Structure 1
Amino acid sequence: MASRRYTDLLLDIGGVLISYSTKNNTALPPRTIKTVLDSPHWHEYEKGKLSRQQCYDKVTAQFGLAPGTWAEAVKQLQSTLKPNQDFIAAIKDMKASYPRLRVHAFSNISAPDFDYLKPTIDKWGIFDNVVTSASIGCRKPDFGSYRQALDSAQISAHTSIFVDDRSENVITAHSLGIRGVLFENTVIVIAQLHNLLGDPVARGMAFLRRRAKALFCETDNGITIKENFSQLLILQRIGDSHQKQAAMEAILENLTPDGLPLIYFDKLRPRFCPFVSANVLRLFYLNGQGYKLRSTLRYICSILHTQAYEIGKRYYCHSDWIFYYLADLCRKCSNPDLNELRMILSTQLKRRMGTDKDVLAAALRVLAAQSLGFENPRDLETLLVAQQLDGGWEFAWMFTYGSVAVKVGSRGVTTALTIKAIQTARGVEGLSAESNKF
């Protein structure tokens, strides 16, 4: 898995690190202020082509303002300036967490306005370098502004991240090879930056260690349940050969008339689920008894070939569990009985890759693709950008149970499966105990 090593962070100032309000400005209406700030004369002022007085005179003439009105409007704007303290604190934390990180200001701002802000900016203590439109003679989103900013700071586009609140600026930066991040929400952008700068596996493992004794499943009515994901997963992870044999014998005593395994070892509850059948098939073949469930193998191949698995799920919340179970079987078992299954499974999985942004579903598809021997970059990217600030991945519903279909979900399972997928993509074999629990 190829990934960039980012060493430089370029931050816009206005709208990212500091904001202002036009709401109570008595000099001019908010719409007029916005129009002036996006006018050609103001742009020329930001590029250092006009002095402050020249700019103010031209703005006053163009918009038919009374003398001194624009100066008063700017004065009131300056009185509303408010630093984004949460983001500034987060940048300081990032510099401490990632010692190689250098932070650069890169802003469209005139020399006089920057001089006004400089004492405040200096107090933040976060910048290694400052590049303004006035200092380089051009402004974002002009291509030349990015090239000059990189040259001025002596940094590479490939190792740089750029944060701005204007989409046109971010899109242009991204098109030039800089990793662009659109600033819309402080918390979200902080998480995005950690995902780009940090090691996702190390952060994920730290999350699992911190929650090692609290990674229980939860229901949709808020109840925590201290229960394993399923009896079959228990057997796979910790069951000995006698336990597995006893379970398989019980399964063979509870089949449908078509020879398919039922869910419960209870003839009064004849429930059937194709996804459970796939997991049972894995158990039997991995323990040398697949020949006892050949009718199940034919059935599974049929629902894969016809894409019937997408129609609906009674117990599992994600169709992609079937790929996870069966691909794991194909990786671990070389029985020629499974040749057709391997072929159909690969075809259908490639069709489904990247079909949604659901993190648990993406993790299941990445792991399945890895088991079958091919890459799944679209779903892997979904995992890499979805890591949360605490290092874990989002809570996900996994299955339902009971007559009222109570949903059961977990963050721990999602995090463990995602870590395993990322590690395998990196070519790292094996997982530590925390993630192997799932």
Structure 2
Amino acid sequence: MVSAETVLPPPVENASADTMLFADVPIDPLEGKMDLGEETQNTKAQAQTMDSEVDLVEPGSPASGLEPGISDSASDLSSPATSIEAHEVLEGRRVRQDSGVGLEKTYADPSSAAIDAPGKVSIENEWTPANASAHERPVPSISALIIDLGDVCCNWTAPQSLPISPAMLHRLLKTRTWYEYDSGALTQEDCYNNLATQYGVSAADVGEAFKQATSSLSPNEDTFEVLRNLKRTYNDSLKIYLMSNIPSPEWESVRADTRYDWTLFDGFFPSGQVGMCKPELRFFWHVLESIKLKPKDVVFIDDNAENVLAARSLGIRCLRYKVVNGLKQFIKSVFDDPIKRGQEWLQSNAKNMWSETTQGREVRDNFAQLFLYEACRDLDLVSMTFYERTWNYYIEKPIDTVEKHPDDVDTTSMAMTILPQDTNKANGILDEVLTYTNKDGIIMTYFDTKRPRIDPIVCVNAVRFFYKYNRGECTPALEPTKSWISDVLFYRAYLDGTYYYPTGEVFLYLFSRLLVANADSDMYRSTSSLLRERLGERIGAPGDALELAMRVIGCVDMGITNEVDFRKLESMQEEDGSWPIGWLCQTGKISLKIGNKGVTTAFAVKAIEKARKR
């Protein structure tokens, strides 16, 4: 490992467009001391009996003077929900649907899990080349995208002056009165009059304030460009629908605005015409029934956390919109196979994936290259120095020191475990490893008695090395080391990391690799149940992309479902196909972290592959 000597040390007045106009904010039951009990139920009953018609676009068909593909009015069409059989609706509501993140039952057959994954077949045939024709139009993994309007598809610029303050507008939008207007149960005139009476302001001022707020909306061109690219790529294979809390008069005003490219949408679900508001679950079910899709077949994008939670509770995959770059990253994670994108990034950076410190200093080391190879099993991707006997952490001279860095047990054990080796040579090295133990009989980190450091993660790698060459159970001198790593596992001593590793996730990952490779061993019998328990404890814990990938792999290896970290890991993929750097190890005394983007990406790809196959 690396020795310490080798390195140098928002306000209410600026409310959002949704807040200002489209009421995607929770209604405050205390506003105006209003009772939301029986009256709310009556409102819901009214909404349910209203015409729940939606602007649904029939591609290519003209509609009342508008551009082809856009309907003139919701009243021109009957609700598609009426064409769905009752048993289909009930079945859709009662059966939980996976949100389409790659954990479908269809992946039970491992042979089908990587059909579309590009790359070369290497030693263990873990990556399979793609066979799709280049000229074929891609088919999206989901059928529809449902997107919000305010603060997602449009922006709001506060007018220079309003007859009432933005703070008052925000307050008005949280009332029961506005909810009724939003859902079509009140006319605009009645809404403004009720609000004026309730808050002691002029109805004319209320109307003028909302008129100015509506006119100040403008299309978010960045979002529209994302939608435009999706349509260019998938054409009619992907449907895009708008779902927004917006009263009918305001919707008609925005819909008539020619600055918006409404031709990108296949249908519209404004709350004022549908008679329902987000985050009501029935609104989501109505949309799904209207477009005849299941929750797992769609994705939902909204800037309001409450709406996103409601959609997720139905099994819909969601993004809470904040910035357009986040939207682009989410779109890529949904529509482009993360495995394919990750492998393409690895191939394009082959033999040039070096480690770096938290200070940005490049480190050329064998250790990270060995981890990279363990994840991808492709020697064409890695660049390392091969040794006749023991291995050194560094490929080149140690950084910032003239001192020779000794060979170490950690790097040597990794190399001897995952690379083809001569058995006689391996046994000779194992004998040498046993000569470097401390007074407790525990294997040390370096082939150097002047550096008497021990580390449980180094010891796990050493034990893997011994079991690889069938000496794990027949070597009495190994027992103190085996006993110690078992105790570290039992007492969770790894939680704050170790001397050479900033996180305990590496310990659990390598321990799982030890047990999976030796399922008939004494170590498996004595620690497998405990390891499953410890891995389960870590599910959902904070961590960088490498930690999450190692956790997912460890869980899959030990038969544990870990959808939480799987989802989070997938969402962390960057636009270029890589994953953000994770910190693999660290120096001794000053604990300077060293990471490798290539290792992180390779492990993320492997984790997703394994999770899909499970």
Q: Same fold (TM over 0.5)?
A: yes
CA distance 1:11–1:353, shift in 2 (3 Å): closer
Match of 1:327 in 2: 512
* Structure 2 partner of 1:436: none
Q: Please state how far the C-alpha of 1:68 moved relative to its aligned partner.
A: 3.5
Instruction: Please list, as runs of the form range in 1=range in 2, the aligned pairs for 1:289-328 lying within 5 A after superposition.
Output: 289-290=471-472, 291-292=474-475, 293-310=478-495, 312-328=497-513
TM-superposed deviation, 1:328 = 1.4
Q: Measured at CA, do residues 336 and 74 of structure 1 come closer, stay the same or move farther in structure 2, by a change above 3 Å?
A: closer
1:127 to 259, 265, 272: 265
Cα distance in 2 for residues equivalent to 1:279 and 1:67 = 75
Q: Is the 8 A contact 2:495 2:504 kept in 1?
A: yes
Whether 1:44 and 2:225 are equivalent positions in the alignment is no
Q: Deviations over 1:333-362 (max 9, x none)?
A: 355332324344334333434343443223
* Whole-Å separation in 1 of the counterparts to 2:221 and 2:348: 27
Describe how 1:3-402 pairs up with structure 2 within 5 A.
3=104, 6-22=142-158, 24-66=160-202, 68-97=204-233, 100-118=237-255, 119-120=257-258, 122-123=260-261, 125-228=263-366, 229=368, 230=393, 231-232=411-412, 233-238=414-419, 240-241=421-422, 244-245=426-427, 247-290=429-472, 291-292=474-475, 293-310=478-495, 312-334=497-519, 336-338=521-523, 339-401=525-587
Match of 1:420 in 2: 606
Larger relative helix fraction: 1
Change (3 A) 1:162 1:313: same
Query: Aligned partners of 2:496 and 2:180: how far apart in 1?
Result: 59
State the TM-score, normalized to the length of structure 1. 0.86
Letter in 2 for 1:183: Y
Equivalent residues, number: 428
State the 1:164 CA deviation: 2.1
Cα distance between partner residues in 2 of 1:92 and 1:143: 29
Structure 2 CA distance, aligned partners of 1:16 and 1:29?
A: 24
Deviation larger for 332-341 or 321-330:
332-341
Contact 1:109 1:133 in 2 (8 A): yes
Q: Secondary structure at the match of 2:342?
A: helix
Aligned-partner Cα distance in 2 for 1:349–1:3? 22
Listed one character per residue, the Cα deviations across residues 138-195 of structure 1 (whole Å, up to 9, x for unaligned) are: 3223343323323333333332222222233233333344334322333334323433
Q: Which runs of 4+ in 1 moved over 6 A?
A: none
* Superimposed CA distance per residue, residues 247-282 of structure 1 (whole angstroms, 9 cap, x where no aligned partner): 434423322233322111122222221210110110
1:236 is aligned with what amino acid?
T
Structure 1: distance between partners of 2:348 and 2:519: 39
Compute the displacement of 1:412 (Å): 1.6
CA-based RMSD of the aligned residues comes to 2.9
Deviates more, 1:230-239 or 1:248-257: 230-239
1:432 matched to which residue of 2? none
- Aligned residues of 2:159 and 2:213 also touching (Cα < 8 A): no
1:225/1:96 CA distance change after superposition, 3 Å = farther
**Secondary structure at 1:310 match in 2:** coil
Q: Deviations over 1:279-316 (max 9, x none)?
A: 01101110223233233222222322233333541101
Aligned to 1:309, the other structure's residue is in SS state coil
- Report deviation, 1:70: 2.9
Which gives a bigger RCO, structure 1 or 2 (Cα 8 Å, sep 6+)?
2
Please give the secondary structure, in 2, of the residue aligned with 1:322. Answer: helix
Q: Secondary structure at the match of 2:452?
A: coil
1:2 equivalent among 83, 103, 113? 103
**C-alpha contact (below 8 Å) 1:25/1:77 kept by paired residues:** no
For 1:147 and 1:400, how far apart are their aligned partners in 2?
Answer: 51
Q: Give identity over the alignment, percent.
A: 29
**CA shift for structure 1 position 237:** 3.8
How far apart, in 1, do the equivalents of 2:534 and 2:260 lie?
57
Quick one: distance in 2 between partners of 1:307 and 1:41? 55
Moved more, 189-198 or 321-330: 189-198
**Counterpart code for 1:170:** V
Structure 1 residues 110 and 403, CA, compared in 2 at 3 Å: closer, same or farther?
closer
Aligned partner of residue 444 in structure 2, secondary structure: coil
Alpha-carbon distance between aligned partners in 1 of 2:558 and 2:194, rounded to the nearest angstrom:
67
Contact 2:496/2:502 (<8 A) preserved: no
Aligned partners of 2:553, 2:318: CA distance in 1, in Å? 28
- Once the two structures are superposed, residues 390-410 of structure 1 have per-residue CA deviations (whole angstroms, 9 ceiling, x without a partner) of 322221111112543321012
- In structure 2, what is the Cα distance between the partners aligned to 1:333 and 1:371? 12
Contact in 1 for aligned 2:444/2:452 (Cα 8 Å) = yes
Greater Cα shift, 211-220 or 352-361? 352-361
Structure 1: stretches of 5+ with no match in the other structure: 429-438
Read off the aligned partner of 2:216 and give its amino acid letter. Answer: T
Structure 1 residues 120, 334: closer, same or farther in 2, change over 3 A? same
Confirm or deny: 8 A CA contact 1:25 1:76 kept in the other structure.
no
